[in-house]
Amino acid sequence: MAKRVEFSGILVILSALVLLAVAEEKEYVLTLDHSNLTDTISKHNFIVLEFYAPWCGHCKNLAPEYEKAASELSSHDPPIVLAKYDASDEANRELAGQYKIQGFPTIKILRDGGKKVQEYNGPRDAAGIVSYLKKQVGPASAEINSKEDATNLIDEKKIFVVGIFPDPSGEKFENYLALAEKLRAEIDFAHTVDAKFLPQGGPVDKPTLRLLKPFDELFVDFEDFQVDAMEKFIAEASIPIVTIFDNKPENHPYVNKFFDGTNDKTLLFVNFSTELDAFKSKYNDVAVLYKGDGVSFLVGDVEAGEGAFEYFGLKPEQAPVIIIVDTDDQKYVKDHVEPDAIAAFLKDYKVMSPILLVVRSFHVALDGKLKPHVKSEPIPEVNDEPVKVVVRDTLQDMVFNSGKNVLLEFYAPWCGHCKNLAPILDEVAVSFESNPDDATANDLPKGEFDVQGFPTMYFRSASGNLSQYNGDRTKEAIIEFIKKNRDKPAQSDSVKADSAKDEL
C-alpha cells in the first residue's frame, strides 16, 4: 500500500513538472500568416506587428527581446498584443506588400483595426520595447500639471514637443492633438496650461507650440496651429544647424533626419581628432547664414563616413572634403578644402539675391560655377566579352546613343542573385548584345532608371523605348522578352551611305 502512495506521489510531481514546462514554453508573440492576418488585426484596437524573415540575422537577434516584451506587456491593462508575420513566405508576400516592407525586421503599430498604420521607431531591446509601447498605447499628448510632471516626462537628450494652452480647448488645441496623434510614433508630446512648468523658455499668454531640443538654442516657439504648418516646423526645427555624423548612437537619429530631409545637403568630412576644431566655427557660421534657405549641413568624421566615401566615389585621403547634393541628386565636390574656402564654395553654388533678401534671404542657384561630380568606374581598356561592361562615362554612348536594342543590367559585385544571373546573361548574349552596369560604383542619370535592388534589368529598344524587365531570370524568359520588345536597329551613317551607293 505504501508503494502505491509513493507511486502516486511521483505521478503528481511529474504532472506538476509537465505543467510547469508547458507554462515556460508558452509563446506570447502571436504567429500570423495570410490566412488570419487581416481578421486578427481587425479585432484589435492596438496591435504591434513584426514583419520578419527566418533567415534574417537581425530578426533572430530581435526574437528573444520581442518575446520577452510580449510576455511583460500581456499583463498590461489593457494587454498589449505583439505579433509576427513571415513576409518572406511566398504565400504571405501579397499581404505583406500592402505594408510596403523594405527590409527585415520591420515593425508596425496598427490602430483602430488596422485603419491607422505607424512605423515603430523605438528601441529593439525588451525593456525599451515595453517602455515605448506603453507610451504609444496611452494618450498621444500627456498632461503636465507641475514641474515634477515635466521632469518625469521630458527626456532632455531627445526632441520633445509641448503645446502651451492657457485654455486647453478650441480649434488650435484640437489641431494640436491631431498632430500629436499623427506623429506620436516619432516624437513625444505633452500639453500644459502654464509654461512655468517647463525646463526651457519663458512665460506665454497665448497658445504656443514649444519644441525642446538637446542642441543649438535648446528651445524654439511657434504660433501657427495649422496641422501642416506645425508638422513642417517640427521637421525643420528637429535638425541641428550642423548635424554631427560620428559613431555616437545619440547622434544617429539626427543623421537619419538629415538624409531623409528634402533640402539641398552640404556634407563636410574631416578627421575629428585632428581637424574638427579648425573647421567647426567657420562651418557653423556658414550654416547659420544659410539657415532657412533650403540647405542642410552635416559634419562627419572620416572614420565614421566610410560608407559615404564609397557612395560618392571618393577616398578618405581626399579629406577634408566638402560635398553638396542638390534636390536633383547632382553632386558638387571640393577635396582638400581649407576652412576659409567653405564660404566661397557655397557662394559659388548659391548666391544671395539682394532683391529677395528681405524675403527670408532666398537663394538662387547659379548654373555653371560648379561642375557636378559624377561617380564612374574607369572605362574598361578591353571590352570584347559577349556581355559588355558599361560605366557611367560610357552609358550615353553605349546605351542612349547606340541606335541598338540594349539589355542593361544594374548589379552589385557582392550580390548573390547577380552572381547567379551572370552565366544566364552570357548565354543570352550569344544571341543579343547585353550590357551590365555596376550600379554601386556608377551614378545613374536622374529620372531614367529606378534601381531599388539588385539585380535590376532594363531594356532600351533601338527606337528609344525603355521598359523594366520583371520576368523570370531564365535564358528563355529573357530572350522572349527581348524578341517581344526589340525593334530594327537604327542604321549608322556609313551603312546608310553604302545603301545609297547600292541603290545608285
For residue 162, give the H/E element and its range.
strand 160-164
DSSP 115: T
Pairing of strands 406-411, 456-460: antiparallel
Amino acid (1-letter code) at residue 375: K
d(CA 53, CA 77): 31
Based on the residue annotation, tell me whether 435 is a catalytic residue of this protein: no
Kindly name the residue from 415, 422, 441, 466 that is annotated as catalytic: 415
CA-closest candidate to residue 268, choices 250, 253, 251, 287: 287
Which residues are registered as beta bridge partners of 163?
191, 209
- The closest of 236, 372, 373, 241 to 299, measured between CA atoms, is 241
Nearest-angstrom CA–CA distance, 398 and 154: 58
> Does residue 332 sit in helix, strand or coil?
strand
Give the span between the Cα atoms of 384 and 374, in whole angstroms.
25
C-alpha cell at position 493: 551613317
C-alpha cell at 475: 535564358
Q: Which of 47, 48, 49, 59 is catalytic?
A: 59
Known catalytic membership, residue 40: no
DSSP characters for 436-455?
EEETTTSPPPTTT----SSS
DSSP per-residue codes, 369-434: SSPPP---PPPPS---SSB--B-GGGHIIIIITS-S-EEEEEE-TT-HHHHHHHHHHHHHHTTS-E
Active site residue 56: yes
Enter the C-alpha cell of residue 366: 547659379
CA distances from 157 to 79, 123, 254, 278 (A): 30, 15, 12, 27
Q: Which position among 30, 56, 389, 444 bears the catalytic label?
A: 56
The grid coordinates listed for 304 are 565614421
305 contacts 269 by C-beta, under 8 angstroms: yes
Is residue 375 part of the annotated active site? The answer reads no
Q: Check 418, 421, 439, 478 and give the catalytic one.
A: 418
Q: Point out the residues that are catalytic.
A: 56, 59, 415, 418
